[in-house]
Structure 1
Amino acid sequence: MRIHIMNLQDGDRLTADTFSDAGLHVLGQGTVLKSEDITLLMQHRVDYVDIEPREEEITEAEFFAAAAVHSTRMNGDIPPEEEMKSQFVQTVHNYQSAFLEALTVGKFNATMVDDALQPMVEGLDEQKDVVHLLMMLERDDVNNYTHSIQVGLLSFYMATWLGYSPKECYQISRGGYLHDIGKCKVSHRIRSKTEPLTPDEQLEYQRHTIYGHDIIKSSMRDEATALVALQHHEREDGSGYPMQIKKDEIHPYTQIVSVADVYISMRSGDFGSSNPNLINNLRDIYSMGFGKLNEKPVQALMQHLLPNFIGKQVLLSNGEKGVIVMNNPSDIFKPLIKVESEQYRDLSKERSLSIDDLIINS
């Protein structure tokens, strides 16, 4: 299939050698594309390439058909979850296009961003179980694109819980969606490095906040969204970056997005954890609400996610599987569990037991 390079995705495979207009061989047949390969094609001003057909490809027609069904869905033919997943994939593609456009020209098409994000956000009201939604959208191929969309969605929920108006909730969601857009200007080698960064590499990586602020300012008239990109790694005790500002100087929208960013990073194992554990993730964020992250969005996250745990299947540290039947008001991370043997485990009393994992059926 022939495709414009702005629509390429990581993992696409070339079916023919690719040459620039000057006849320079750029990439060979069979190349499995990565972000840096797509960047290379842009640098050589290649417009179209031939790739193998994608599995489970969602065409534009299919996407808009799903959107039409969404607006008139009275007979329940399409499950809301499947529709949400389709919109998620489409929004991933959109973010990739904005990311690559910002890389090449220093700005992105703001209208295109809104056209992709708004349908996704509008469908969130149908997903009352936020725990299920977020875990449903977790992916094995976590990257900057999927991370940013998940941060945008959680930011929307948190803004709603905190009482912001619908317009403000969308703006906060968009801030979460675009918070990492500046990473397009950071070397792919640094972004993808698995071992610890050198001091110089760390400084360059931290500049993604400044790059993001500048890109957004060049792309749209929205100072708040630009500030979210600039400040989302600041911490209330002044230990963050790039400016080491403290609580009163951090924009309220940023305070929300920062909590969402930390949560999603923990869930993907990007926050110093190779084996993400949802309960432990929330416990860590709860602790960060005393000096690092703003306490209001942290408390909103706890109050609205934890009730969704009731009825969820869990794996305990002793190997037993069970279902959460009641939260413990005196210790929110030690609920009452009914295990498969029909016995009950009160984790507030059996202190040696803990939840190893939360099991969400897809």
Structure 2
Amino acid sequence: MSLLRIHVTEIIEGDQLINDIFNNYGLHVLSNGTRLYKKEVSRLLQHQIDFVEILDREATDKPEKRTLESTVTPKWLPTVGPVYESAVNCFQQLFEQALESGTIDTKQVQSVTEPLLNNLQLERDVVSMLLLLNSHSSYTYQHSVQVSMLSYYLATWLGYSLEEATLIGQAGFLHDIGKCRIPESILNKPAKLTEHEFAEVKLHTVYGHEIILGSFQEELLAIAALQHHERIDGSGYPNGLKGDEIHPIAMIIAVVDIYSAMISTRVYQQERDLLYVLRELYRLSFDQLDPNTTHTFIKHMIPNFIGKKVRMNNDQYGIIVMTHPTDFFRPLIQIGDTFIDLTQERGYEIVHVYM
């Protein structure tokens, strides 16, 4: 049997270990025969494993060799992918239905959101999942499905039951349904909106509240649509609510709505670096967004960056090895054979994360 001894940074997706891996304390890390993907490499880095022995790549039957920077196709994708696309298509139908009749089919909402949200339990790397599922569908439709998924996740992280989280996920799915009454020329305008146009956009919260109240017996879904642009300092709309005047479910949707909007490419916006978006949410948590809700979201999203390649402010490239539980944006970075703790080395900054 032919083998290769390589540094962990040289691993190619699908490489196969030929022996058990133990860390310096004798703890078992990975088993002989394990195929190496992003999660396995992340584990090796966390345990400070520098070199591994793999089966010679010429002896394997991998049809394609891809570096770890490339997109992984995880086990859940064949299941969740079609459900995701179905949800995007369903929202488009609901959008058109709401514009035409002023109501939506509640059974249709449940039939598409429940399998989507149930399947989310298969995967916890939310960052990679959204990027893998991203399609070329209309922003409005896809955004609503993403907000549904993220609302569900955040609700579970905040301690809501699965039943409650499913309701919150449905609220996220419907939060923008009122945009069906906003002219497409305004929704997709590439230039800055006029004061009149922006006033019209703000009304989507009121329209959504009306449509949902006329369709569902669950008032919380309507309240979430009405209040998801309210801000705890009173700067939001449509009613300028403050603090506890805003329903907790609307606070959840406010956080994930901003996250999904900022990571998306639109006619008037290029997508932003994912770590930058979380930093922006952190900044908003001091005046506009509920701090506990926002920090819970960030705390659970940050570990998804472990194993991701980054570019530093000195133009060096490294890999995120560990994240910090409170200093969210200053993880442990490996650059070559060197480990840099950004909580101690304050001169270093991450400028881009590669997914």
Q: How high is the TM-score relative to the length of structure 2?
A: 0.75
The answer to whether residue 354 in structure 2 is matched with residue 359 in structure 1 is yes
- In structure 1, the residue matched to 2:230 is 234
The answer to whether residue 338 in structure 2 is matched with residue 343 in structure 1 is yes
SS in 2 for 1:219: coil
- Which AA in structure 1 matches 2:260? I
- Decide whether the 8 Å contact of 1:285 with 1:298 is kept in 2: yes
- CA 1:334–1:140 in 2, change beyond 3 Å: closer, same or farther? farther
Q: CA deviation at 1:131?
A: 2.2
Q: CA deviation at 1:200?
A: 0.8
Q: CA deviation at 1:239?
A: 0.2
Which residue, out of 131, 136, 140, partners 2:132? 136
The answer to whether residue 115 in structure 2 is matched with residue 125 in structure 1 is no
Per-residue deviation, residues 217-259 of structure 1 (Å, max 9, x unmatched): 1111111000111111000010000111111111111111111
- CA 1:116–1:86 in 2, change beyond 3 Å: closer, same or farther? same
Which residue, out of 294, 298, 322, partners 1:298? 294
- Which AA in structure 2 matches 1:217? L
CA–CA distance in structure 2, aligned partners of residues 350 and 222 of structure 1: 51
- Which AA in structure 2 matches 1:101? Q
CA–CA distance in structure 2, aligned partners of residues 320 and 90 of structure 1: 41
The answer to whether residue 175 in structure 2 is matched with residue 172 in structure 1 is no
- In structure 2, the residue matched to 1:198 is 194
- Decide whether the 8 Å contact of 1:142 with 1:268 is kept in 2: no
- In structure 1, the residue matched to 2:17 is none
CA–CA distance in structure 2, aligned partners of residues 87 and 318 of structure 1: 42
Deviates more, 1:120-129 or 1:308-317: 308-317
- Decide whether the 8 Å contact of 2:190 with 2:267 is kept in 1: no
- In structure 1, the residue matched to 2:210 is 214
CA–CA distance in structure 1, aligned partners of residues 79 and 341 of structure 2: 38
The answer to whether residue 179 in structure 2 is matched with residue 186 in structure 1 is no
Which residue, out of 150, 156, 162, partners 1:160? 156
Q: CA deviation at 1:335?
A: 1.4
SS in 2 for 1:241: coil
- CA 1:261–1:208 in 2, change beyond 3 Å: closer, same or farther? same
SS in 2 for 1:94: helix
Mark the runs of 5 or more structure 1 residues left unpaired by the alignment: 1-77
Q: CA deviation at 1:309?
A: 1.9
CA–CA distance in structure 2, aligned partners of residues 330 and 92 of structure 1: 35
- In structure 2, the residue matched to 1:307 is 303
Q: CA deviation at 1:137?
A: 2.4
CA–CA distance in structure 2, aligned partners of residues 273 and 280 of structure 1: 15
- Decide whether the 8 Å contact of 2:139 with 2:266 is kept in 1: no
- Decide whether the 8 Å contact of 1:265 with 1:271 is kept in 2: no
The answer to whether residue 104 in structure 2 is matched with residue 108 in structure 1 is yes
- Which AA in structure 1 matches 2:339? Y
| Higher relative contact order, structure no. (Cα contacts within 8 Å, ≥ 6 residues apart) | 2
Q: How high is the TM-score relative to the length of structure 1?
A: 0.73
- CA 1:209–1:251 in 2, change beyond 3 Å: closer, same or farther? same
- CA 1:121–1:215 in 2, change beyond 3 Å: closer, same or farther? same
Deviates more, 1:187-196 or 1:124-133: 124-133
Kindly tell me the number of residue pairs found equivalent between the two proteins: 282
CA–CA distance in structure 1, aligned partners of residues 304 and 179 of structure 2: 33
- CA 1:88–1:354 in 2, change beyond 3 Å: closer, same or farther? same
- CA 1:334–1:271 in 2, change beyond 3 Å: closer, same or farther? farther
SS in 2 for 1:233: coil
Per-residue deviation, residues 136-156 of structure 1 (Å, max 9, x unmatched): 223455510000100010000
Taking only aligned residues, the RMSD between alpha carbons, in angstroms, comes to 2.0
- Percent of aligned pairs with the same amino acid: 39
- Which AA in structure 2 matches 1:266? M
Deviates more, 1:243-252 or 1:128-137: 128-137
Listed as ranges, the matches of 1:56-135 within 5 Å are 79-135=75-131
- Decide whether the 8 Å contact of 2:229 with 2:237 is kept in 1: yes
- Which AA in structure 1 matches 2:258? V
CA–CA distance in structure 2, aligned partners of residues 129 and 176 of structure 1: 20
- Which AA in structure 2 matches 1:258? A
Which residue, out of 242, 245, 252, partners 2:241? 245
